[in-house]
Every structure is written in structure tokens, then in C-alpha cells.
Amino acid sequence: MKVTSVNIDPAGRCGREKCLVTVCVHLAGLRETMTINVLVPAERDDRDVQECGIARAKDFARQFATFPISAT
């Protein structure tokens, strides 16, 4: 798995204190991608926003991986 892009939508559209981060991941050996959108605190530094977005996306991916299929 490889993160191919991390896009930051500036604060404002999601509220002054939050910004939308879109994390795109290429799955190894497959022609498939995964895109996760997360809201994170709007920090002054884009690098901090990016790192927080990736960490939050990883957490959501773990939760998704353990989500029981019968619950859908």
C-alpha cells in the first residue's frame, strides 16, 4: 500500500476550525485505489494537517477492516 496523494481543502467550507483532508492510497499489486475523506483540526502548518489526516484515515481504515459484513 502506498499513499499517492493527500489533498487539503482549506478551512472555511467545513467550518473555521476544521478542514477536509482527502487521502488516496494505491493498493500494492492491484489496480485499485482507496480514497478516505476526513475532517481534521485546521492547524497553521499544512504538514501538521497532512499528518493528522493520514493518521485519522488509518484509524478509519482499521475500523472499516473490522466492521462486520452482517451489519450492512
Q: Is the pLDDT of residue 18 over 70?
A: yes
Query: Which is more confidently placed, 11 or 53?
Result: 53
- Give ∠ CA 52-37-7 in degrees, rounded to 5: 70
Query: Which is more confidently placed, 59 or 17?
Result: 59
Determine the average pLDDT of the residues in 6-20.
78
pTM of the complete model: 0.80
What's the confidence (pLDDT) of residue 72? 63
Judge contact between 34 and 61, C-beta under 8 A: yes
Q: Is the pLDDT of residue 66 over 60?
A: yes
The distance in angstroms from the start CA to the end CA of the chain is 26
Determine the average pLDDT of the residues in 57-70.
89
